[in-house]
Amino acid sequence: MPMKRKTKVRIARFTRQVPILREMQALRNESVLRLVVQAAFVGGCTGGVIGVFRWLYDHGNAWIVSTLRHGADDLATALIVFGTLILLALIVGQMVRKEPLISGSGIPQTELALAGQLPYPGFRIVASKFVGTLLSLSGGLSVGREGPSIQMGAAVGCGFGRIFQKLTGEDPGHAPRFLIAGSVAGLAAAFGAPFAGMLFAFEEVKTIVTVPLLLFTGVASFSAWFVITILFGFGLVFPFSSIPSLDWGQMWLPVLFGVGTGLFSALYNTALLRVTEFHDHQKLVPAPLKPLLPFLLSGVLLYVYPQVLVGLGYSTADLGGLTPNGPLLLGSVALLLFVKIIFSILSFASGVPGGLLMPMLAIGSMVGAVGGTLLIGNGFSAEPQLPAYLVLGMAGLFSGTVRAPLTGTALVAEMSGAFQCLPEMAIVAFISTVVANGVGSPPVYDSLKRRILVNKNASSKIE
């Protein structure tokens, strides 16, 4: 009996210390109506924030691209371009110095906050991440909006969670469900992918699956999707809803793609982490000036190889041969892939606010284009099937890098509309995950979480 009593005490103490376990107990006492109202509010507000962000970026980037296409060749314009990029780099560097939590993707920070190892984000993070990521994207850097959208969503959720708790007189402690719901809504709003958002919470964030939390995340995710799709009018990210799928006799090809993308994911993760850690430890360039390299590289690429820049270069539709600009020759796609990888790694390693997933998906589509071109050239596939290999490359690289095959499959299907390719995508995603695990490559966000904690401990010792 004494041993049993001690065990119960230890379990109760552990439950109080782990936020998500404490939340599981609290959710049992919440009414369904209350959960739905809270989740819908958090999801809708997150969808509104991300919708404004996407609208500003789309219109701002369209204006920048139009301006550059109508005259960027003279010396005066070049000086203005590089002067603007230097100014943006200095602003972003100072923003990261003042608010270090906005650096990078935002997904590792969100997961660490949920685990109680970092402070819960608030409304201040929303403003800083919003502006910092917008400036990074406007400067042409190869970073994504999805990680920042997840972190901004988590911050919105935590902010409103505190307000809900004060209004109801509850324990002012931070309820993890608001962070989870906000992050789920952020992913759904960034990509228009509500099911992927829900899967992300349970597969990547490792949230415990319970009926109340499933309801809460589902309502938040679809509320954000409603705002983004119905109110803002955003459609598919990739125009692949009508592409042909592979035949049943070609189902050995997804197995091949899964192995290839799994190995490629391991190499990509290793390169990304090595370069990022080098940036962390080098002392030649002060931290606030580190963004200068990718911003200046963006300017160089504008004049040397603009094909790799978003808006000015090739789109996924071009790669898939769905526009007059494509499909590309094998050598052109391989060069594009090589430059994109280097630019993406250098952009992320500098510590600017910006995510990994959108560049990763772009790289995955290029890997798919290379593989598809080779298969078509050797008679294993028909040319109209080329776009299918792009979505397989995206699903494979996402799953092998993040190690979340269900989320990767749902995400690519929802953002491309290529539901007819679901079987092939699932095969590629799961095999890529197994292969990446088999070669000993850790999931990218696990590695980035360890990096954040190491840097945090190092900073604490210096202080």
Q: Where are the chain's structural domains?
A: 19-232, 248-454
Nearest one of 306, 290, 284, 288 to 81, comparing CA atoms = 306
Instruction: Cite the DSSP H helix spans in 70-175.
Output: 75-98, 107-114, 123-138, 146-168
Token pair listed for 74: 């003279």
SS3 of residue 104 by DSSP: strand
Low-confidence stretches of the chain (pLDDT < 70) are: 1-29, 72, 169-174, 457-463
Please, is 252 exposed, middle or buried when counting C-beta atoms within 10 Å of its C-beta (0-12, 13-18, 19+)? exposed
Instruction: Say yes or no: do domains 19-232 and 248-454 share a fold.
Output: yes
What is 248-454's CATH number? Answer: 1.10.3080.10
What is the Cα–Cα distance from 100 to 120, expressed in whole angstroms?
Answer: 14
Q: What was the pLDDT predicted at 10?
A: 47
Q: Choose which CATH entry (1.10.10.10, 1.10.3080.10, 3.90.180.10, 2.40.240.20) describes domain 19-232.
A: 1.10.3080.10
Question: What is residue 312's three-state secondary structure?
Answer: coil
Q: What are phi and psi of 425, to 5 degrees?
A: -65, -40
Closest by CA to 407, choosing from 244, 158, 193, 243, is: 193
Per-residue pLDDT at 19: 54
For residue 385, give the nearest of 361, 367, 402, 368 by alpha carbon: 368
d(CA 295, CA 309) in angstroms, rounded, equals 12
Backbone angles phi, psi at 283, to 5 degrees: -110, 0
Span 266-303, pLDDT tens digits: 999 999 999 999 988 888 888 889 999 999 999 999 99
